C-alpha cells in the first residue's frame, strides 16, 4: 500500500531485546525481504540493551538474513541538566501547561537526564498533576523497573555468584 501511493512507512520496534525470547519463529527473513524489496518501508529498532539488540538482529552473522545490510546506529545519551529542563518545558508548552521552575528542576534532579523517565514524568504529570507526589511515583516506577530488569538479568545467567551478589545488595539497600 505504501509503495502504491509513494508514502513512507516507518516500522518502529521498541525493546527489541525481548524478541530474542521468540522461539520457533524469526522476523529476520521478513525484515530482510522488506529491506530489499519495499523501498518505502524503513525500520527503527530500539532497546535499552544494545548487546541483546545485536544478538537479535544477527547483523554480524554471515548466515543471518540481515547480514551485510546497511544500518545506522543512534546512541541516545542522557540529557544535560539544561537540556532536560528545556525538554520538559517544551513538552509542557506543547500541552498548554506552564509548570513552575521549581517542580521542573526537582524532576530533572531526581530523574537524572534519562529521556525516557523525563517523558514518563511529563505524561504522568499531565494526567495526575504537577507535584512532588508525581515525581515520587515516577521515581518508584523507575526503581521497580530497574530492579526487575536486574533480577531478570541475574536469573538469565543462572549463576549462583550473581544470586549471592543480589542477596547482598538487597540486604544493604535499606
Let me know if residue 138 belongs to a domain: yes
**Residues 37 and 113 reside in one and the same domain:** no
Query: Which residues are registered as beta bridge partners of 9?
Result: 41
pTM above 0.95, yes or no: no
By the 8 A CB rule, do 107 and 118 touch?
yes
Same-domain check for residues 89 and 31: no
Look at 41-55, 73-87, 121-135 and tell me which has the smallest mean pLDDT.
41-55
In a domain, 71, yes or no: no
Q: Which of 79, 89, 133, 71 is nearest to 111 (CA)?
A: 79
Instruction: Identify whether 17 is part of a domain.
Output: yes
Record the cell numbers describing residue 61, joined without a space.
552473522
Question: In this structure, how many other beta carbons lie within 10 angstroms of the beta carbon of residue 29?
Answer: 11
Q: Please compute, for residue 34, the number of CA atoms within 13 A of its CA located in the half-sphere on the CB side.
A: 17
Q: Are residues 47 and 114 in the same domain?
A: no
**4-48 residue pLDDT tens:** 668 899 999 888 877 877 788 888 999 999 999 998 999 998 887
- Does residue 62 sit within a domain? no
Residue 21 within any structural domain of the chain: yes
Give me the CATH number covering residue 110.
1.10.8.60
Residues 126 and 92 both lie in one domain: yes
Number of independent structural domains in the chain? 2
- Residue 168 located in a structural domain: yes
pLDDT for 63 beyond 60: yes
Structural domain for 16, as ranges: 9-57
Amino acid at each position: 500500500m505504501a509503495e502504491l501511493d509513494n508514502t513512507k512507512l516507518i516500522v518502529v520496534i521498541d525493546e527489541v531485546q525481548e524478541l530474542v525470547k521468540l522461539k520457533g519463529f524469526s522476523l529476520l527473513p521478513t525484515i530482510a525481504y522488506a529491506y530489499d524489496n519495499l523501498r518505502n518501508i524503513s525500520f527503527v529498532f530500539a532497546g535499552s540493551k544494545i548487546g541483546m539488540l545485536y544478538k537479535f538482529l544477527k547483523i554480524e552473522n554471515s548466515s543471518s538474513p540481515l547480514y551485510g545490510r546497511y544500518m545506522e546506529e543512534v546512541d541516545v545519551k542522557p540529557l544535560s541538566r539544561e537540556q532536560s529542563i528545556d525538554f520538559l518545558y517544551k513538552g509542557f508548552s506543547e500541552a498548554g501547561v506552564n509548570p513552575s521552575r521549581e517542580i521542573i528542576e526537582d524532576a530533572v534532579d531526581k530523574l537524572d537526564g534519562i529521556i525516557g523517565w523525563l517523558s514518563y514524568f511529563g505524561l504522568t504529570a499531565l494526567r495526575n498533576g504537577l507535584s512532588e507526589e508525581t515525581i515520587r511515583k515516577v521515581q518508584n516506577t523507575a526503581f521497580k523497573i530497574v530492579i526487575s530488569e536486574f533480577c531478570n538479568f541475574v536469573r538469565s545467567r543462572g549463576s549462583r555468584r550473581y544470586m549471592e551478589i543480589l542477596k547482598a545488595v538487597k540486604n544493604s539497600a535499606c
